């Protein structure tokens, strides 16, 4: 079917191809290592990125505001809200927005008792503390 000579030629080409491929990989890895090393050194001396600064700021804030809702853990203890949940009553409004902005109850999802949660009313422009809309 195949001559002995053609089989030897195909095997020789295959072996040469494999050797060339491994030489290529070896050179590519050496070039990559050379390029990566300065980048690693530069990164050690680099000024923090905006993202790194933001992450550091968040971690610092978490020391006094575990749930990052805008109220310190101390304030939440006084109010009786959950220090590890940003929206204690689950109405869709952050605890700090309820206390400092809308003057609603952060422990009661429907502050005015009209059957609509505070967050639902606020998102639709209604006053969560009574009748009318927020603009009046």
| Partners of 126 in the β-ladder | 133
Q: Could you tell me what percent of the chain has a pLDDT over 90?
A: 50
CA angle, 110 as apex, 129 and 93 as ends, to 5°? 85
Considering the domain boundaries, does residue 83 fall inside one? yes
Considering the domain boundaries, does residue 88 fall inside one? yes
Q: Give per-residue pLDDT as tens, 40-57.
A: 666 666 788 899 998 888
| Alpha-carbon distances of 117 from 12, 60, 122, rounded to whole Å | 78, 33, 9
Domain that holds residue 105: 67-123
Domain count of the fold of the chain: 1
The mean pLDDT of 92-107, rounded to a whole number, is 94
In this predicted structure, which of 10-19, 32-41, 79-88, 91-100 has the lowest mean pLDDT? 32-41
């Amino acid at each position: 079917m195949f001559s002995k000579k053609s089989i030897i030629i195909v095997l020789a080409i295959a072996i040469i191809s494999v050797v060339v491929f491994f030489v290529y990989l070896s050179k590519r890895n050496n070039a990559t290592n050379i390029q990566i090393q300065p980048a690693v050194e530069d990164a050690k001396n680099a000024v923090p990125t905006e993202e790194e600064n933001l992450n550091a700021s968040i971690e610092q804030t978490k020391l006094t505001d575990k749930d990052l809702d805008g109220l310190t853990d101390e304030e939440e203890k006084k109010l009786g809200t959950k220090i590890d949940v940003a929206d204690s009553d689950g109405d869709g409004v952050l605890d700090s927005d309820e206390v400092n902005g809308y003057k609603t109850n952060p422990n009661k999802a429907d502050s005015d008792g009209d059957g609509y949660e505070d967050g639902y009313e606020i998102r639709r422009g209604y006053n969560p503390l009574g009748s009318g809309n927020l603009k009046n």
